[in-house]
Chains A and B, each alone.
Chain A
Amino acid sequence: MALGNRNVAMSLRHRNNVKVEGNGPATLILSHGFGCDQTMWSYLYRHFTDRFRVVMYDLVGAGQSDLDAYDTGKYGSLAGYAQDLSEIIDEYAIGPVILVSHSVSSMISALADRLMPGRIAAHVMVGPSPCYIDSGDYVGGFKLEAIHSLLDTLDSNYLGWSSTMAPVIMGAPGQPALSEELTNSFCRTEPEIAKQFARVTFMSDNRADIAGLTTPTLILQSTEDLIAPVGVGEYLHNALPGSTLCIVPNVGHCPHMSAPSACSEAMDVFLAPWAGAHVS
């Protein structure tokens, strides 16, 4: 491999804290959502490493990404994140690419798909929403005031994002696998970055971007999800001609964490055409 490529890989790895696990003829790229980082995939990704090459990363500004790379202009819209994702695909993907995305990353992945037509073999969207705010007949689930209320909550948790969320007082009962060092770094970010990302996430309207996207897509929709209600999942299913809507019995916005088996079962069926030999 040319030296230049290695440098690109190094800088991407540093910028997005890219991790590669497993082997297989196709590549799964896992993108986390707003408010967390790639560790939220820890309940799910091991299920696929025996059949897929699995790439995980942190969005710039989140987790262990390079905060110096955060540019308020570039990340002032989801397009900046989509650009990053397309670079990661170019650098790390081998074979067909399946983008597994949670929440806002679903739209980042859709935008990346538009950037590189034909390169993405399929999408798995976990709790996706093309638009969070109600507008006209469309019901996203939120009024604009809710977003302002969120920004206010983020403001008052100024400390929460960067330090005191660590379980300093009680340890981590029931999670012996996660070391203290790791747990302390969960979902940390700069409060100002968290606020801008919140604004970009919840104010964006990507309905026009996803309309008519024909890439095969599995929508994992929780039965009860405040952030992405069932109606939104149905809207997406109608807007994406190649989509499958799978309702996962789950309360909350993170079925890949709280209902990982239901998610992996649905994904196994959907991903079968691209899976490698089961080696375990």
Chain B
Amino acid sequence: MSADLPTPPDFEALFEGAPCGLIVTTEDGTILRTNRIFCEWIGVEQAELQGRRFQTLLTMGGRIFHQTHWAPLMQMQGSVAEVKLDLLHRDGHTVTMLLNGVRRDHVKGAFYELALFGTTDRDRYERELLSARKHAEELLKEKTAAESALRQAKVDLSIAYEKSQRRALFAEQMVAIASHDLKNPLTAIRMATDMLVRGERTAKETKLLEHIGKSSDRAQRMIADLLDLALVRAGNGIGITRSAVELHKVVGQCLNELQLAFPDARLRHQASGEGGVELDADRIQQLVGNLVANSVAYGDPHQAITVVSTQEDGVATVVVQNWGTVIHEAAIASLFEPMTRHSDRDDDVRSVGLGLFIVREIAKAHGGDVTVRSDAIGGTTFTATFATAVNEG
């Protein structure tokens, strides 16, 4: 059989036409011989390469890489494998090749024998892999950064929360202590004033004592309001104790007392529906008192303030209506926030700006709410609702 096979090419023909680029250089890279295939790949004549240095065929990056990395390696370990290099084609484009090289020592020095393989497509694929890997690494980095930012934010948040808790506690304690400590001297002033009133007094003295009494009452109201604010701010809300009461009676009694406090105001009470409810009577009185005081302060002094108490389908409602100046839409939004006033009036009825805030908190504590309407036709109307009983069980 072997007799039938054609004669294989001789070594010379094999060298020239081998399916890879073959180059022999001296140690400094001077080209001694190249094969035809290599010359075809980079578009030059074999004769042109004689005496040129191999590294001059590389891109600048490849040359630096040659000088700093694979030339020392050739010398130290006698060979390199799979070095990827871009070679410059005569027409300017680059040809990516993979280089294997071996150093062959002889008496006068050494030859470098290099074999090069085209690897353009594989190179493209590798670059895609590389860029995918880089992309994945970047995503991972981003994710890690986001996670650590989130962790930091959580830490910051809990620190801020702790800080605000401490501050709230401090404020609460301050208000509680101040209010408590102020209560006693005020009670003493009130009592002493009451006792003095009972004796023989000149008209001027009576007038002054009346002032003292009113002022201490007002101070006591403010302290009570501040204590309520402290309770709400501490997150506990205003505490209520429900008991069976007659709504209309509670409101009526309250209005009688308010009439004494505001002798010039015209207070009217309308009641509708069954009055039996389960509410905190003291708190309802406080709510009515605040709403009426507000109406006295901001309403039209020549017109009546109407208070309507109703009970229907398990909901109790107290409506307080006055004929004051129409409240702006913008002001209504913040009307029930603490320390806000919709007027700059400064007189005897003024408080620390907690009245409406406490009204809302009392309604909320009863499972209800408070709303306000203000227009030229219907005047200003506050409507507080309460769930008349809680479903406990």
Contacts and interface: CB of A to CB of B under 8 A. Distances in A.
Interface of A: 33-36, 39-40, 42, 103, 142-143, 145-160, 164-175, 178, 183, 186-187, 202, 224-227, 251-254, 257-258
Interface residues of B, number: 42
Contacts of A254: 67, 71-72, 75
A159 B77 contact: no
A146 B127 CA distance: 20
A160 B64 CA distance: 15
Nearest to A150: B61
Interface string B142-161: 00000000000000000000
Interface in B58-92: 59-65, 67-73, 75-86
16 contacts: A36-B73, A150-B65, A151-B61, A156-B96, A166-B77, A167-B78, A168-B81, A169-B81, A171-B78, A172-B77, A186-B77, A226-B55, A226-B64, A252-B29, A257-B72, A258-B75
A143 B75 CA distance: 28
Interface in B94-149: 96, 100, 102-105, 110, 123, 126-127, 130
B325 to A, nearest CB: 67
A160 B79 CA distance: 13
B80 to A, nearest CB: 6
A220 to B, nearest CB: 15
B60 A150 contact: yes
Given A149-B60, A153-B65, A39 B82 contact: no
Contacts, number: 146
Contacts of A226: 55, 63-64, 67
B77 A167 contact: yes
Interface of B: 27-29, 53, 55, 59-65, 67-73, 75-86, 96, 100, 102-105, 110, 123, 126-127, 130
B364 to A, nearest CB: 56
Nearest to B63: A226
B62 A172 contact: no
A35 B68 contact: yes
Contacts of B27: 258
Contacts of A178: 76-77
Contact of B79 (A35, A147, A172, A253): A172
A249 to B, nearest CB: 11
**Interface hub of B68, B69, B130 (most chain A Cβ within 10 A):** B68
